[in-house]
């Protein structure tokens, strides 16, 4: 892979496609190396999936979605459209190849490999954010107070204890609390919980959308260019992409391209030299403007697959996994279940005035993002497929892309995330 510089050795013109958290962070880190960067998206920065995530900067996200025994759960995913992990049955024929790889990734040995790769990214995730937020004068955007995992049933408690073993193998701290100890930390927790675990290494942002827009503003302040437009193709020469073509008939000239378009990266990835088994998780959230209780830290549900996160403008309840087609209409019935389950662990919640949202997470079958060079095109880099951890891995992904573009050894081994691993 040739470093992203022109023939004179000067910094190059880099086009970053996708202005979510990953693309914005990649643009900033490339800019710090002196590149002339254009950030391209059909929307304003942060208005896609980055707008509605759970606002978590995870310190524990080393567990892939597919774990041993997942194959036996697939029929239930099809039969229960409101479950925490569900499949739109209409999409099953198209999803089948992805599901085969998903099940293959659930082998015990593979789960260990995946968790080690994710742990390596996690170790660098917050330091990479600190660099960007300190430069933008906004270190207060990320708060480090840990996370409480609440179990309302014995089955939920058992699942957390199973996860705990893997976390401890990766050197991640987990503390089992009594209900009263947990309620001293968060008095709004139900007294009827079966168990609570504390993950001190987790953090969260006080407002995920504002985090992206603030970083995008810093990018522009330092000379970066935002280009609104729908990307329809690339002009590729022997040295790699020469321009990014927009639907409006215009183009952005460049010496290198970074693809960070989230769930919309599949077709573009094929055009840039690598067909990826990327598919879509449909995510949902409720945001309560006046939740009637104050949380100091996020609280997750062991059974429900969601997280309640305190934001500066209310309380976000986000999560669950629904596998379906990109652009598929929402199933708002899922929010009723989200609401009921949230009330089980936080019974005083006030849902009046709640706003709802649906978005599309870019999901790889092995729960590992694609980070690295195109296997066939020079000066082309991939940064997508982060699943539930797009916000968490946004800054470290951006830093790794800048390392690769500069020809520097990346600070994390990117071999597990290579585009041609399938």
Report helix, strand or coil for 108: helix
- Reported as a single tens digit per residue, the pLDDT across 114-149 is 999 999 999 999 999 999 999 999 999 999 999 999
Read off the DSSP letter of residue 311. E
Instruction: Output the six-digit token pair for 17.
Output: 């496609």
Query: What gap in Å lies between CA 259 and CA 386, rounded to an integer?
Result: 13
CA 129, chain centre distance (Å): 14
Looking at domain 59-103+143-202+280-362, does it have CATH number 3.40.50.11270? no
Report helix, strand or coil for 415: helix
Read off the DSSP letter of residue 421. -
> Cα-flanking dihedrals φ and ψ of residue 89, to 5°?
-60, -30
pLDDT at 383: 98
The CA-based angle 331-336-337, given to 5 degrees, is 95
Read off the pTM: 0.95
pLDDT at 70: 84
pLDDT at 197: 97
- CA-wise closest residue to 398 among 215, 174, 254: 215
Residues of the chain with pLDDT under 50: 1-2, 6-10
- Work out the angle between the directed axes of helices 108-135 and 394-406 (0-180°, nearest 10): 90
pLDDT at 387: 94
Instruction: Output the six-digit token pair for 293.
Output: 């209780």
Query: 148 with 299: CB under 8 angstroms?
Result: yes
Query: 400 with 371: CB under 8 angstroms?
Result: yes
pLDDT at 257: 97
- CA-wise closest residue to 386 among 3, 74, 26: 26
- Work out the angle between the directed axes of helices 108-135 and 21-32 (0-180°, nearest 10): 60
pLDDT at 401: 98
pLDDT at 11: 59
pLDDT at 349: 97
Instruction: Output the six-digit token pair for 326.
Output: 């990109």
The CA-based angle 253-255-260, given to 5 degrees, is 85
pLDDT at 8: 38
Query: What gap in Å lies between CA 385 and CA 388, rounded to an integer?
Result: 9
Q: How many CB atoms lie within 10 A of CB 413?
A: 12
SS3 content of the chain, % helix, strand, coil (to 5): 35, 25, 40
pLDDT at 4: 59
pLDDT at 278: 95
Query: 8 with 222: CB under 8 angstroms?
Result: no
């Amino acid at each position: 892979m040739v470093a992203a510089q022109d023939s004179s050795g000067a910094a190059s013109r880099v086009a970053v496609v996708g202005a979510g958290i990953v693309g914005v962070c990649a643009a900033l880190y490339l800019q710090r190396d002196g590149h002339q960067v254009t950030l391209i998206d059909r929307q304003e920065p942060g208005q896609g999936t980055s707008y509605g995530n759970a606002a978590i900067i995870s310190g524990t996200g080393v567990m892939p979605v597919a774990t041993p025994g997942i194959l036996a759960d697939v029929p239930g995913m099809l039969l229960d459209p409101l479950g925490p992990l569900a499949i739109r049955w209409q999409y099953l024929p198209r999803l089948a190849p992805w599901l085969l790889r998903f099940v293959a990734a659930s082998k015990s040995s593979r789960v260990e490999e995946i968790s080690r790769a994710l742990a390596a990214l996690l170790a660098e995730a917050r330091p990479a954010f600190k660099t960007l937020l300190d430069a933008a004068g906004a270190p207060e955007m990320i708060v480090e107070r840990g996370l409480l995992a609440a179990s309302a049933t014995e089955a939920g408690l058992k699942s957390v204890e199973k996860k705990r073993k893997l976390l401890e193998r990766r050197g991640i701290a987990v503390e089992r609390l009594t209900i009263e100890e947990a309620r001293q930390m968060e008095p709004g927790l139900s007294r009827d919980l079966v168990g609570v675990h504390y993950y001190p290494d987790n953090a969260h942002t006080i407002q995920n959308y504002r985090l992206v827009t603030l970083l995008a503003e810093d990018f522009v302040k330092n000379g970066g260019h935002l280009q609104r437009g729908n990307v329809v193709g690339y002009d590729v020469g022997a040295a790699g992409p020469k321009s990014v073509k927009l639907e409006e008939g215009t183009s952005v000239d460049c010496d290198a391209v970074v693809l960070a378009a989230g769930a919309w990266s599949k077709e573009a990835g094929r055009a840039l030299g690598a067909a990826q088994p990327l598919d879509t998780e449909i995510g949902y959230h409720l945001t309560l403007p006046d939740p009637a209780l104050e949380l100091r830290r996020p609280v997750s549900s062991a059974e429900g697959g969601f997280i309640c996160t305190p934001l500066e403008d209310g309380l976000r309840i986000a999560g669950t996994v629904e596998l379906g087609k990109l652009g598929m209409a929402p199933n708002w019935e899922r929010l009723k279940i989200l609401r009921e389950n949230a009330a089980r662990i936080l019974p005083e919640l006030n849902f009046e005035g709640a706003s709802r949202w649906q978005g599309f997470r870019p999901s790889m079958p092995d729960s590992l993002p694609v980070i690295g060079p195109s296997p066939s095109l020079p000066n082309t880099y991939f940064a997508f497929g982060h699943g539930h951890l797009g916000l968490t891995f946004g800054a470290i992904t951006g830093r790794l892309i800048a390392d690769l573009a500069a020809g520097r050894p990346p600070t994390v081994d990117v071999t597990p995330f290579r585009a041609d691993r399938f």
